[in-house]
Amino acid sequence: MKPSINIALAGNPNAGKTTLFNRLTGARRHVGNYPGVTVEKKEGIFTHNDQDIRVTDLPGTYSLTAYSVEELVARDFIVNEQPDVVVDIVDASNLERNLYLSCQFLELGVPMVIALNMVDVAESRGIEINAGKLSQLLGVPVVPIVARSGKGLDELFDVVIETAKQEKSAQPVLLRYGFDLDQTIRKMIPLIEDNMLLTDQYPSRWIALKFLEDDEQILEKARQKNDAVTQLLLQYCETVTAHLQQTMDVYPEAVIADHRYGYIKSILHQGVVSEKFVGDRLYTSDKIDKIVTHRLLGPLIMAAILYGLYTFTFTYSTTLVDSLASIFAVLSNSIDGMLPDGPLKSMIISGAIDGVGGVLGFVPIIMFMFFGIAVLEDSGYLARVAFMMDRIFHFFGLHGSSVMPFIVSGGIAGGCAVPGVMATRTLRSPKERIATLLTVPFMNCGAKLPVLTLLIGAFFSAHQARYMFLATVAAWLVALISAKFLRMTVLRGESTPFVMELPPYRFPTIRGLVIHTWERTWQYIKKAGTVILGISILLWAMMTYPGLPKEQTVDFEQQRQEVMANSGDIQDSATTPSPGPELTQKQQAALMLINNQEAQAALKNSIAGRIGIALESVSRFAGFDWRTNIALVGGFAAKEVIVSTLGTAYSLGDVDPINSPTLKDRLASDPNWNPVVALAALAFIMFYAPCFVTIVCIAREAGSWKWAFFSMGFNTVFAFLLATAIYQIGMALGLGG
């Protein structure tokens, strides 16, 4: 006799558990009340294909959070007794609501089979359910049955026995709960795992969720196990709860529930339920979704919204950007007047102010962009974008869960690849995950924005929104094509089905928008004031030292003396024969030229200059001069640094700060720059090696430095080839102006 297997029947009240239980065990039924709890659980044994099966009928529940005794009993049984298979009875005529519980079993990671009950009722109401599709999307077997007549029970228990015998244990399914909660959960998990807080009983992510859902039982158990860690975890929960309260006036429980329903909704949207289905109710959200995620209309609406966002950003931020630039100019001037010439002044003006100012000058654009994105995100539209992109992503060998990491990394503009790379944790297939985390750095993150804006503003100022839109499309194309390439070569393998969550639409609150916009803008400002300031000063030093050798300094000094001495000749010799203290305009111009040449010579001789010049032998194929090279090397530390370094490289030796042109104008009028060079530089900057922090993050998430180095090499080579192609073709066509 084979050893018997244990199964538990779970499901919503009235889903048909008892009917099924009685059918199965009718002949030799053992009814027993469990001691200690009042809620009835029944146990019985039956045989299917010579296999003894012990079955427990659990109390009906809607959820697995310990809010009621039924829920607690059902959950404890499953966690403590660990049945071989949980048979989840789902009422097919009420699919959406019933799947809410299934969703929680998936998150708990228990081995399960869904019995799709009452298909007769569903059919009579014109509801047709594609069980195969549902099973594929959920990743668990789904068997249609009619418990009352016994239809489908043979198939059901064939599958149950098969599942029970599977060696591989079920993995918890990871749902996303929105940016705020996901971030908190990510912080909580290592704390739970490192302290092994209840991890012998539950998955760590599930424990984090229960903390957020304020589950008394889990909290109590955790407190007994390790009070200090529990307090720390609760603090995380309090912080995020306060934040959600402030921004959206909701509690974490509600957000979690919304996302679970979103997950279910998106499954039902993917051809699981036939058209005749109208759901429990036809929500306004569903009506909007019919249009917004329509196969043809959807992408058009999406493109229009993105284009609108860029137009809005550039139209309303220009004046602010210009006034900020003049504020920094005034600041430079006053410091110029206050300090004596020397390294300190040069460091403050060329290193700190030009560097950080260059980055801070873009705050208005960043702020407008973030505001727009906050509207899209808080309203729930961003999730629809992800939903639509799903279809496209699959074709390129990526997964539906790759979409959010792309958007987080700057898929619309202004994200960051670091959280983007971390967000790939929701992907279960390692190959799809690595393909995703290698391609998210191609997005236009917040640090690339100032560079893009600078170059677009300098060379294509008439069509800023259009070029920004094109840059976005280009970023996606390159990312998707690279992903396809990776999935066809080094990361070859099957793709897994995808499911996305569709939260309901909400009206964003002004308060929420303001807070979200400000939070992200502040992050940007903080980075400019700390990391970027440090790197700017370091680069300034590299661009300043070791300075000119003595004989050259003497040489330039001599030239200056000559200009001064010759003043008589230059000026009208008849009126003022001797050199006076007042210099003529021509003299001033001549002196400025000499000073500039000296500064340029010094820059060339500096550490950074030498690196830049050494790289010129390669970079000239793409049209980059040595000063641009310095900026591009600096950009590896952080992409914002490109702007600040260009600022420093082009302003060093500027002797006339009163009339000093902006960096934008300097580039526009520099002989080494033209629209073709600008386009090549744009392409290179968008696609070359990710910044240092992202690289570290890729190494950590991919589990090896191999992929981090691969990313640096692959991206840089690709970006360089692309930039070279643009430059060579553009110049050959005579577009260089």
**Residue nearer to Mg ion on the CB measure, 88 or 432:** 88
148 binds, among ligand GDP, Mg ion, none (CB under 5 to 8 A by kind): ligand GDP
Tell me the closest approach of the beta carbon of residue 181 to ligand GDP, in angstroms: 32
User: Residue number with the shortest CB distance to Mg ion?
Assistant: 18
Task: Give the distance, in angstroms, between the CA of residue 256 and the centroid of all CA atoms in the same chain.
Answer: 20
- Note the residue count of the chain: 737
**Residue nearer to ligand GDP on the CB measure, 144 or 372:** 144
The rounded distance, in Å, linking the Cα atoms of 356 and 647 is: 10
14 binds, among ligand GDP, Mg ion, none (CB under 5 to 8 A by kind): ligand GDP
**Residue nearer to ligand GDP on the CB measure, 120 or 158:** 120
Binding segment for Mg ion among 13-21, 22-30, 138-146, 225-233 (CB under 5 A)? 13-21
- Count of residues in contact with Mg ion, rule CB under 5 A: 1
Tell me the closest approach of the beta carbon of residue 118 to ligand GDP, in angstroms: 4
**Residue nearer to ligand GDP on the CB measure, 98 or 724:** 98
Choice from 148, 186, 225, 620 touching ligand GDP (CB under 6 A): 148
Distances (CA, A) of 141 to 68, 88, 135, 164, 245: 29, 10, 5, 12, 39
Choice from 19, 130, 318, 552 touching ligand GDP (CB under 6 A): 19
Site string for Mg ion, 15-34 (x = CB under 5 A): ---x----------------
**Residue nearer to Mg ion on the CB measure, 19 or 559:** 19
- The angle that helices 216-225 and 227-248 make with each other, rounded to 10 degrees, is 140
The rounded distance, in Å, linking the Cα atoms of 58 and 442 is: 50
Tell me the closest approach of the beta carbon of residue 42 to ligand GDP, in angstroms: 10
| Neighbouring residues of 246: CB distance < 8 A, sequence distance ≥ 6 | 511, 512, 515
Amino acid at 463: H
Distances (CA, A) of 678 to 415, 536, 670: 23, 22, 11
What is the Rg, in whole angstroms, of the alpha carbon atoms belonging to the chain? 33
Binding segment for Mg ion among 10-18, 584-592, 607-615, 723-731 (CB under 5 A)? 10-18
**Residue nearer to ligand GDP on the CB measure, 14 or 136:** 14
Q: Which element (helix H / strand E) includes 115? A: strand 112-117
130 binds, among ligand GDP, Mg ion, none (CB under 5 to 8 A by kind): none
Binding segment for ligand GDP among 140-148, 367-375, 431-439, 559-567 (CB under 6 A)? 140-148
Distances (CA, A) of 427 to 12, 188, 403, 434, 436: 29, 19, 11, 9, 9
Nearest to 277 by CA among 292, 265, 295, 291: 265
The rounded distance, in Å, linking the Cα atoms of 27 and 8 is: 19
Judge contact between 17 and 10, C-beta under 8 A.
yes
Is the CA virtual torsion 21, 26, 28, 29 positive or negative?
Answer: positive
**Residue nearer to ligand GDP on the CB measure, 152 or 450:** 152
Tell me the closest approach of the beta carbon of residue 48 to ligand GDP, in angstroms: 18
**Residue nearer to ligand GDP on the CB measure, 88 or 654:** 88
Tell me the closest approach of the beta carbon of residue 119 to ligand GDP, in angstroms: 7
**Lookup: tokens for 136:** 């594929």
Asked if 147 touches ligand GDP (CB under 6 A), the answer is yes
**Lookup: tokens for 204:** 């760590």
The 10 Å Cβ neighbour count of residue 160 is 27
372 binds, among ligand GDP, Mg ion, none (CB under 5 to 8 A by kind): none
Tell me the closest approach of the beta carbon of residue 128 to ligand GDP, in angstroms: 16
Binding segment for Mg ion among 14-22, 69-77, 156-164, 425-433 (CB under 5 A)? 14-22
Tell me the closest approach of the beta carbon of residue 91 to ligand GDP, in angstroms: 8
118 binds, among ligand GDP, Mg ion, none (CB under 5 to 8 A by kind): ligand GDP
Binding segment for ligand GDP among 15-23, 127-135, 406-414, 498-506 (CB under 6 A)? 15-23
**Residue nearer to ligand GDP on the CB measure, 69 or 254:** 69
| Pairing of the two strands 42-48 and 85-91 | unpaired
Binding segment for ligand GDP among 113-121, 154-162, 557-565, 697-705 (CB under 6 A)? 113-121
143 φ/ψ angles, rounded to the nearest 5 degrees: -125, 120
Tell me the closest approach of the beta carbon of residue 123 to ligand GDP, in angstroms: 10
321 binds, among ligand GDP, Mg ion, none (CB under 5 to 8 A by kind): none
Nearest to 724 by CA among 688, 671, 670: 688
Asked if 478 touches ligand GDP (CB under 6 A), the answer is no
Asked if 11 touches ligand GDP (CB under 6 A), the answer is yes
Binding segment for ligand GDP among 95-103, 141-149, 324-332, 614-622 (CB under 6 A)? 141-149
**51-70: contacts with ligand GDP (CB under 6 A):** 60
Choice from 24, 112, 146, 192 touching ligand GDP (CB under 6 A): 146
Asked if 13 touches ligand GDP (CB under 6 A), the answer is yes
SS3 content of the chain, % helix, strand, coil (to 5): 65, 5, 25
The rounded distance, in Å, linking the Cα atoms of 262 and 502 is: 4
**Residue nearer to ligand GDP on the CB measure, 17 or 265:** 17
**Residue nearer to Mg ion on the CB measure, 18 or 93:** 18
| Pairing of the two strands 29-30 and 142-144 | unpaired
16 binds, among ligand GDP, Mg ion, none (CB under 5 to 8 A by kind): ligand GDP
| Neighbouring residues of 589: CB distance < 8 A, sequence distance ≥ 6 | none
Amino acid at 233: L
Tell me the closest approach of the beta carbon of residue 279 to ligand GDP, in angstroms: 20
| Neighbouring residues of 244: CB distance < 8 A, sequence distance ≥ 6 | 180, 181, 250, 251, 252, 255
Tell me the closest approach of the beta carbon of residue 147 to ligand GDP, in angstroms: 4
Tell me the closest approach of the beta carbon of residue 52 to Mg ion, in angstroms: 23
Tell me the closest approach of the beta carbon of residue 17 to Mg ion, in angstroms: 5
The rounded distance, in Å, linking the Cα atoms of 282 and 261 is: 14
Choice from 90, 115, 118, 129 touching ligand GDP (CB under 6 A): 118
**Lookup: tokens for 296:** 């043809």
Is the CA virtual torsion 272, 278, 281, 285 positive or negative?
Answer: positive
Tell me the closest approach of the beta carbon of residue 437 to ligand GDP, in angstroms: 44
Task: Give the distance, in angstroms, between the CA of residue 456 and the centroid of all CA atoms in the same chain.
Answer: 24
**HSE of 637 in the Cβ direction (CA atoms, 13 Å)?**
21
Asked if 552 touches Mg ion (CB under 5 A), the answer is no
The rounded distance, in Å, linking the Cα atoms of 697 and 700 is: 5
The rounded distance, in Å, linking the Cα atoms of 565 and 562 is: 5
Choice from 5, 17, 651, 722 touching ligand GDP (CB under 6 A): 17
55 φ/ψ angles, rounded to the nearest 5 degrees: -125, 140
**Residue nearer to ligand GDP on the CB measure, 89 or 257:** 89
User: Which alpha helices (H) appear in 576-704, and where do they start and end?
Assistant: 585-605, 607-619, 626-634, 640-651, 663-669, 675-687, 692-702
**HSE of 462 in the Cβ direction (CA atoms, 13 Å)?**
1
**Residue nearer to Mg ion on the CB measure, 68 or 195:** 68
596 binds, among Mg ion, ligand GDP, none (CB under 5 to 8 A by kind): none
**Residue nearer to Mg ion on the CB measure, 62 or 307:** 62
The 10 Å Cβ neighbour count of residue 497 is 15
Please give the residue ranges that form the binding site for ligand GDP (CB under 6 A).
Answer: 11, 13-19, 60, 117-118, 120-121, 146-148
Please give the residue ranges that form the binding site for Mg ion (CB under 5 A).
Answer: 18
